[in-house]
Amino acid sequence: MKIKTIAQISALATKASQGLETCSQCTSGACCQNNKTLIIHKQEFTDRKYLFHRYLPETKQAIAQYNETGLFTCPFFNHTTKLCNEYDKRFYTCAIFTVVTPPINCETGLDSTIVSKAQITALMTDKHLALKKELLRIQKTPKVNLIDKLKELHDN
């Protein structure tokens, strides 16, 4: 099964979110920080293992944060720019992430899951068929929990 590139999946997600009140340029990086888990495709971790060695201090910090709080920040997250240091190599989960909440919610720490009826209706339109089709295809690939894999990598 050939999986589309990050750019192709990101383009499908962008098309699917057209017309919704989404972040055009992230200013908080809220979705990259303080995560309980991040489920990624097993092959993605294998393909990017070298990056976790490149970001060893950040990887160790993510593990320490998780051990202390039960939450972690992605090692690729840049705290200064509030952007991903490896945007072109980000995980599929990140590429397809579509924000359907006013950006102010992320910036102020309000509940980022709040969506209006109009936004929910918009999410159910046909423009999502290509994205749904691709997600169903890649859904069948083996998954791993990122923090578990980081701990495993750190222990070796």
> Does 30 or 111 have the greater pLDDT score?
30
Which residues of 28-88 form beta strands (DSSP E)?
39-41, 77-78, 83-84
pLDDT of residue 70: 92
103 assigned to some structural domain: yes
How many structural domains are present in the chain?
1
Domain membership flag for residue 143:
yes
> Which domain, by its residues, includes 36?
6-155
CA–CA separation, 102 and 6 (whole Å): 25
Asked if 26 contacts 82 with a C-beta cutoff of 8 angstroms, the reply is: yes
- For the stretch 13-50, pLDDT in tens is 666 666 554 555 567 788 888 888 888 888 888 888 89
Q: Which tens digit of pLDDT belongs to each residue from 37-92?
A: 888 888 888 888 899 889 999 999 999 999 999 999 999 999 998 888 998 888 88
CB 151 within 8 A of CB 17: no
